[in-house]
Amino acid sequence: MSTTARLADDPSVVQRILDHIDNKTTDLSETTWREPVEHYRSEPRLAAELALLRGCPTVFCPSAALPETGSYVARDAAGTPILAVRGADGRVRAFRNACRHRGTQLVDGAGCEKAFECRYHGWTYALDGRLRHVPHEHGFPGLDKSTRGLVPLGTTELAGVVFVTQEPPRVGLDRLPPLIGPDYRLLGPGAFDFEVPANWKILVEGFLEGYHIRSTHRDTFYPVQFDNLNVVETFGRNARVAFPFRAINKLRAVPPAERSADGKLTYVYHLFPNVMVATFPGRIFVVVLEPLATDRTRMVSYGLTNQPAHDAEAEAKLHRASQFVDAGAVEDRAVACAIQRGLASGANEFFEFGLFEGAIVHFHRTLDALLEGAARS
């Protein structure tokens, strides 16, 4: 069975956008959605969401973050310390990040190691998780090292990203479109992460509609993009939203079959439940939204590029473009924080998502269905 999702090709997406420009329209959802405000404030609801995240294949990092043998990324996901590492056989494996002796976390952040030695007592693990060495092993009579390796997690590398499933899976991995090509490399030493005082779902929602472009991004995105003009597609639990640039009008002179979206729009892929992959000319950003509390989220962001390294002109261009994207992201986070503060006002019993916000409707409908299914089981 094919693992590739079927989404519209670039010429089809471009034509839909040009038609929307001409007709002053946008893609519309089949239905609206009312999400109870309590779902953003409830501790039991958050606990159920975290359990769902642990039982779903979720993106842990881009493949480019693990470029060679021994490359590792260690961070918390859905409250669990996890270590992902590329082995000598080229395969990525993920483990619970805890020594099997006294539970010490082995590493943090990102780096490259030939093996993982616990800093507490020196128990040492191979890249495939096997317990390789115990100092003064005679002090542990009956210890069977073959049963005391790092605890493995379900791991799949697909479409340029690494998925980890922490618990017996509630759902399988959806078919995916090509996301990050093998020619992309990491920008900088690793992930940039920080905490945002807002519920994770509010942050998800901010990525998935263009209805706010003019109001929120008046001096950043709006001069180069369109307000409330998107192409929205879903594939399994996931979605893709196209945000066109005004420069897409230049493609009117190009034969339809030869039209490329490169440099003419941003695709935002929502990989359910908590990851965004956003494309820009020469750059891709992967953003993981890790729930910490009902009102706190850790954003883990990776930047990638397929532009040549050590090219001063290309790097300067990337820097300017990244500053532009960062400025818009700051505006989005400010609005998310304002929404979070507004929850305490008591003004709303629910949030109203309209026909322009179809990708958000798909997200909440999917999330609710999975949580209801889990509650019944």
The pLDDT profile of the chain, 377 residues, written as one tens digit per residue, is 345 678 999 999 999 999 999 999 999 999 999 999 999 999 999 999 999 999 999 999 999 999 999 999 999 999 999 999 999 999 999 999 999 999 999 999 999 999 999 999 999 999 999 999 999 999 999 999 999 999 999 999 999 999 999 998 888 899 999 999 999 999 887 889 999 999 999 999 999 999 999 999 999 999 999 999 999 999 999 999 999 999 999 999 999 999 999 999 999 999 999 999 999 988 999 999 999 999 999 999 999 999 888 788 877 877 787 888 889 999 999 999 999 999 999 999 999 999 999 999 999 999 999 999 988 87
Q: In angstroms, how far is the first alpha carbon of the chain from the final one?
A: 29
Would you say 358 and 313 are in contact if contact means Cβ atoms under 8 Å apart? no
Round to whole Å and give the CA distance between 364 and 200. 12
> Looking at the domain 7-56+182-377, which fold is it?
Naphthalene 1,2-dioxygenase Alpha Subunit; Chain A, domain 1 (3.90.380)
Angle in degrees, 0-180, between the axes of helices 358-376 and 200-207, rounded to the nearest 10: 140
Which of 85, 66, 55, 70 has its CA nearest to residue 302? 66
Residue 299 in tokens: 């954003």
**119 close to 205: Cβ distance less than 8 angstroms:** no
Q: Directed axis angle between helix 43-54 and helix 358-376, to 10°? A: 90
Every domain of the chain and the residues it spans: 7-56+182-377, 57-169
Rounded CA separation 55/146 (Å): 27
d(CA 116, CA 73): 12
CA distance 300 to 276: 11
- Cis bond upstream, residue 273 (ω within 30): yes
- What pTM, to 2 d.p., does this model score? 0.95
CATH of domain 57-169: 2.102.10.10
* Neighbour count for residue 278 (Cβ, 10 Å): 20
The CA-atom distances, in angstroms, between 280 and each of 92, 180, 223, 321, 345 are: 27, 12, 16, 9, 37
